[in-house]
Amino acid sequence: MMMMKVESRIANKTFTVGIIGLGYVGLPLLNTFHKAGFPVIGFDTDEEKIKSIHKGKSYIKHFSDEDIEKLSDSDQCKVTKDFKLLEEVDAVLICVPTPLDHHREPDMTYVEETAKTISLYLKKGQLVVLESTTWPGTSDELLTQILEDGSGLKAGSDFYIAYSPEREDPGNSEFDTKSIPKLVGASVYEAREIAVALYSSSIDTVIPVSSSKVAESAKLLENIFRSVNIALVNEMKQVMDAMGIDIHEVVDAAATKPFGFMKFTPGPGLGGHCIPIDPYYLTWKAKEFGLNTRFIELAGEVNNAMPQFVIDKLILALNGYSKSVKGSKILVLGVAYKKDVDDMRESPSFVIMDKLVKLGAIIDYYDPWIPEIPATREHMNWKGVKSIEWEKENIESYDSILIITDHTEINYNELLIWSNCIVDSRNVYSYLRDEEKKKVFKA
């Protein structure tokens, strides 16, 4: 009976959806449910984000001001840092960060704080869905415990818990929140049915799985798969380099096989909020069962060594001009962790810049997506540093240009004319004339 009532409220869009955490994941999700016709309430502790939405200004570059205006102008959408409004929502979707702490162990502070806050306002019949990437068991163990303790209500009968991993890929023009298939798992049948009904109303393809733990583990597998395969091509890159073989050509050649091979591209090291972090959530949980995650550790080791590989190539490149790193002016091209995004979390650029500064280099950066380095949890030493302007005299003044992020809008032809020493960690220059080859050093 209860189920039928909820399903009909979802079907006629009188079901209010709350989203906690309006970052790279939460903001597009809020937009997706709003576009589908649901009343939505977005919550964030960051007042700047709330103010920005109220002003119709986007704080995520690939999310336009027009998209934000549609939210700020709508009487179907509220954004707030007043968590009392949680009383008005029928479902609350949690999209807060899940980073690692200084010991590379899961930092669950954001999820815990959010769960405590929700528990203060939790009411009967509400659905709580965790979307943040996390270790298997978080929803059934940690989240359930905090919500039950704080509210005095019982999960599975008074209120419902589900897990639905976010697969957002910022900057990917082929897939958005609506078109990326969504896994939904819950340990209680009714919880899963409500969550599936809710997501199915706004997202093209919803795949139910038998428990939250399966959904949590599937998300980790997806990212571990990426980390391990990136490590494989990064290791292969070092071997091919020693043999004088172009790894990129090798990868492209292998990728012509129409089955049994998936293309991964080597680079300067892992970046972003997911791939360098998420695998260690499983490593941590596996220890509870006396197990080691050797593939994850090995992949981490190989990938974490890539910034040094790039630096070694820079040293060799400068050597060719009888220059040392110490005292050389180096321009780092791109501080975003991947091309065409304004997200610099875990970017290998910072590891490289820190190491080069230690070696006595003078470092500037150019990044059309990040005009100024904002305050972040890490890399506070770079806060407030501004991108240089893309001008001939500026570019010519550097001893070497180090390409770390291959943003599309950079004029690489101009760069090839303006600089005599380019270290290319992204295979931007795949085909060069013989005289051009002398100035480009593959890293």
Active site residues: 274
Instruction: Specify the stretch interacting with ligand NAD by CB under 6 A; choose among 37-45, 121-129, 286-294, 399-407.
Output: 37-45
Q: Which residues between 242 and 261 bind ligand NAD (CB under 6 A)? A: none
Question: Which residue of 98, 119, 139, 202 would you call a contact of ligand NAD, by CB under 6 A?
Answer: 98
- What does the angle CA 221 – CA 224 – CA 226 come to, to the nearest 5 degrees? 110
Residues linked to residue 424 through DSSP beta bridges, in sequence order: 403, 442
List helix spans (H) across 255-376.
279-288, 294-304, 306-319, 348-358
Instruction: Specify the stretch interacting with ligand NAD by CB under 6 A; choose among 143-151, 163-171, 251-259, 353-361.
Output: 163-171
What single string gives the DSSP state of each residue in 376-398? Answer: -SS-GGGTT-BPPP--HHHHHT-
Residues 6+ apart with CB under 8 A from 8: none
Instruction: Specify the stretch interacting with ligand NAD by CB under 6 A; choose among 22-30, 228-236, 327-335, 413-421.
Output: 22-30
Question: Which residue of 35, 45, 107, 376 would you call a contact of ligand NAD, by CB under 6 A?
Answer: 45
Q: How far is the CB of 131 from ligand NAD (least distance, A)?
A: 6
Site string for ligand NAD, 263-302 (x = CB under 6 A): ----------xx----------------------------
Radius of gyration of the chain (CA): 24
CA distances from 131 to 18, 148, 158, 415 (A): 13, 19, 21, 42
Residue 25 is a binding residue for ligand NAD (CB under 6 A): yes
Kindly state the greatest CA–CA separation across the chain. 80
Residue 97 is a binding residue for ligand NAD (CB under 6 A): yes
Cα distance between residue 299 and residue 400, in whole Å: 30
**Token code pair at residue 419:** 């600089």
Q: How far is the CB of 234 from ligand NAD (least distance, A)?
A: 21
Question: Which residue of 18, 23, 268, 300 would you call a contact of ligand NAD, by CB under 6 A?
Answer: 23
Question: Which residue of 31, 32, 52, 114 would you call a contact of ligand NAD, by CB under 6 A?
Answer: 114
Residue 166 is a binding residue for ligand NAD (CB under 6 A): yes
Question: Which residue of 26, 39, 42, 307 would you call a contact of ligand NAD, by CB under 6 A?
Answer: 26
Instruction: Specify the stretch interacting with ligand NAD by CB under 6 A; choose among 17-25, 63-71, 187-195, 324-332.
Output: 17-25
Residue 208 is a binding residue for ligand NAD (CB under 6 A): no
Helix or strand holding residue 337 (H, E): none
Question: Which residue of 10, 17, 96, 410 would you call a contact of ligand NAD, by CB under 6 A?
Answer: 96
Q: How do beta strands 77-80 and 40-43 pair?
A: parallel
Residues linked to residue 366 through DSSP beta bridges, in sequence order: 333
What single string gives the DSSP state of each residue in 134-174? Answer: --TTIIIIIIHHHHHHHH---BTTTBEEEE------TT-SS
Residue 18 is a binding residue for ligand NAD (CB under 6 A): no
Nearer to ligand NAD, 224 or 421 (CB): 224
Residue 133 is a binding residue for ligand NAD (CB under 6 A): yes
**Token code pair at residue 225:** 């798969």
Binding site for ligand NAD (CB under 6 A): 20-26, 43-46, 49, 95-98, 110, 113-114, 132-133, 166-168, 170, 273-274
